[in-house]
Structure 1
């Protein structure tokens, strides 16, 4: 771990050299693939030539090539044999995505990220005893690829777990056969039965699902809080959704001064960031030597046919960028759909600011996920509330009535005053988003938010109805249409 930390320090100091090396390795490795031949990778392209020749791609653009790989054709996007595909529903599209997981992506990106996470944690906390017990993680499941039964598809967590080396598997709980069960309700119950008997020192997973599991453990054991179940618990590594709205919730579940939280940015497409400084909440070190070459599109150009695409040395602090990646999984200039904001340029640190398609802009207000989560967090703090889930969508103009936003919120602890909660939510949105504020002036275009309080389990009920219970499926925070919101209202008869 100490050796690896010196390597991390190297890309902190020489980020552009490291990214150039990654770029050269990617191009050279893929030069004889079908994709590499199409775009002349053998010409030893410069970054500028690469940007001129190779188009920006969405999943839909790359899918014809990915389908060829899924049907068993090799050397299409990447030369290594592809036997695994990470299945992702996406968060703005109901159709599943299948991301190739090459041996290089697994070893040099996903596993490297997991090891670096522990290296950084141990370096920051020399007194850590996390290795004295087991790590509990909630995995997904995998199944044969419908195009080719010799390969398999599943949540990236399931792909990683299935391929863990024996030493790593020995350090985690529950056993693989339970962790990879595809029946969510049965899996949770089995996890509770097994894991309460273990010395769990670390948790990892999506906050939403981890919260569900921890609550089930308290219900089953009758314990007051999680410290009575696992007194040596000290670390929760979390990702996929912003932790701000959940922070107080977990403090209540795990009221321990030694409990620490570490954010990571891992996705089906790769592992990109790790919180390297404990006090920098929501900020992560951009990991530059994982076989991922990064580009960035300024958000004001994201919908343009030919946007300006920046490399790492061209980005600026505090601006929103759509993330573009080229990877050792054979994703080329792939628009992942996430937006990031740089909080530091030396070293390069980012925070996830939202999704390119996850926003509300029905009235020119341009509210992004980052705004929504800041507002929810502040409203919870002001009214002593905690939430388990939320989503928001526009209330469109109807007749002479003004537009607005409707929020469906599931509280684990109700606000002391719902009216005050709504006021703080609204005021915070006005503070962090000038466009929203302008529309709210004198109720010009937007009326105050409408809060619909959902009963316990409402979002899980909706996910179950959609066939997306468990794994890495998550609730869309914002949508520019009322599709998701109306479905949740209908399923729960609200």
Structure 2
């Protein structure tokens, strides 16, 4: 098929989905009520459905009374049964796939069940919607005229099921029209050895007409730097003049944006942020002039929310989507077509709009520093790092932070940062970052008053590659693995300082 005809045809096909998206934007409550009704109806004969009287559930009120909110540890007894080969436990049939959700240690791995429904109706539909959003925003796109680079993890077969990184499971289930646009075959993308895989992806992509990239920003940077080094070019516009789209998620992009621009200094490269996880696919940027994401309401996921202040005080007062308030921070609860019921996924979001429902990811429930009452969250840290880098014209490759306890009950925050330039002035960075955090967070500012409770933060500049070595040592290269930004203890800091 003629390349330009193929591009036009595929663009037209994915654009058509916008009508359905407009429908759930116009009718969010009905869409979500229909999703809940469908989930209940399909699962009423399962072990979980019988145990929780799904046959008596006629409304959201009934649902919230019959089904308690659960964390992973509380739902694992059901997941364990599915992993033993039992069927009709959480969802009709046998579970054939488990996405391994990354933790900071191997001991707290989470095995998230995935069904054919969740793969097809949620994750793969989202893949088409990403392109639909893009093509509707950029009608003259040529994204289908070339090939794409996809970065993913690995998987393995265990008993009668497959377990591995979410990206690996999705790669195995890609529709043919996506596979033929990949610069690298699926077999290579699923190689377990991350460094070997990276080299082969780079070798394959080097001579291709690359128009799009998909992956976690931190890992994509590793690949792009490798390709630039191999090619000897000044920047990647020299080998990929038609690159126009980077679809990314998993971590906040703002600390990495300058590095991407340095590698590909062209305004024609557009950045499409998504919000996905092992548990489901939740949000897509639909307005390229703004930073928030459209919450996707028809993927077989029913949403509930708990105000973060209530959650931290162990008051699980959940509300449905149609009762949320703008500019409020919430912990998110999901019920899904993979058999997760009123599951607390651990993420927090802020609603930037309620017509349509649009969100920003503000962090993780367990990712914060509050050792001295400062309540510093990931959103504060990401903004602080990004804006400090902009002020001082420097680049940060990776970082983490935690508390350090000093004498007389005082303390400070210890930031371990890997700068792109090892000669970055850390004292200037400390002052600028502290000042920005005080502007972003009133509690932090109060505790910093005259340094009575919280002393000025301290930065330790790490050698380049330190975080990579820690990830490699802990078998966390590639995929969705990432460095925890904030911890309320110094365990990770000690491990990194001993690398």
Same fold flag (TM > 0.5): yes
2:27 to 14, 20, 23: 14
The answer for the alignment partner of 1:45 in structure 2 is 58
**TM-aligned CA distance change 1:372 to 1:92, over 3 Å:** farther
Gapped runs of 5+ residues in structure 1?
none
SS state of the match for residue 305, structure 2? strand
Greater mean deviation of Cα atoms: 291-300 or 167-176: 167-176
CA distance in 2 between partners of 1:127 and 1:350 (Å): 28
Per-residue CA deviations over 1:79-133 (Å, capped at 9, x if unaligned) read 0432111111235884211111100000000001110000000000001111111
The aligned length equals 486
CA contact (8 A) 2:422 2:463 kept: no
Instruction: Quote the Cα distance in structure 2 between the aligned partners of 1:413 and 1:263.
Output: 27
CA positional deviation for 1:416? 5.3
In 2, the alpha carbon distance for the partners of 1:164 and 1:44 equals 35
Task: List aligned pairs for 1:205-284, cutoff 5 A.
Answer: 205-281=215-291, 283-284=292-293
* 1:358 and 2:371 matched: no
Unaligned 5+ residue runs, structure 2?
1-13
Check whether the contact 1:393–1:485 (CA below 8 A) recurs between aligned residues. Answer: yes
* Alignment partner of 1:293 is 2:302: yes
Check if 1:369 corresponds to 2:378: yes
1:123 aligns with 136
The answer to whether the 8 A contact 1:383-1:417 is kept is no
Q: Using a 3 Å threshold, how does the CA distance of structure 1 residues 152 and 271 change in structure 2: closer, same or farther?
A: same
Distance 2:208 2:479 in 1: 22
Q: CA deviation at 1:387?
A: 1.2
Match of 1:178 in 2: 188
Q: How does 1:299-318 map to 2 (within 5 A)?
A: 299-318=308-327
Contact 1:92-1:476 within 8 A present in 2 as well: no
Corresponding residue number in structure 2 for 1:56:
69
CA distance in 2, matches of 1:219, 1:304: 51
Instruction: Report the equivalent of 2:173.
Output: 163
State how far apart, in whole Å, the 1-side matches of 2:146 and 2:480 are: 25
1:447 to 448, 451, 455: 455
**Structure 1 residue 167: deviation in Å?**
2.0
Q: Which residue of 2 aligns with 1:25?
A: 38
RMSD: 1.3
- Determine if the alignment matches structure 1 residue 407 to structure 2 residue 376: no
User: Residue 153 of structure 1 corresponds to which residue in structure 2?
Assistant: 163
**Does residue 199 of structure 2 align to residue 189 of structure 1?**
yes
Q: TM-score, normalised by structure 1?
A: 0.96
Query: Residue 420 of structure 2: SS of its match in structure 1?
Result: strand
Residue 389 (structure 1) aligns with: 398
- 1: distance between equivalents of 2:67 and 2:141? 46
CA distance in 1, matches of 2:15, 2:134: 11
- Contact in 2 for aligned 1:379/1:422 (Cα 8 Å): no
Q: 1:110 to 1:344 in 2, by over 3 A?
A: same
Report how far residue 52 of structure 1 moved.
Answer: 1.2
TM-score by length of 2: 0.95
Range with greater deviation from structure 2 (78-87 or 482-491):
78-87
Using the alignment, how far apart are the partners of 2:31 and 2:374 within structure 1? 39
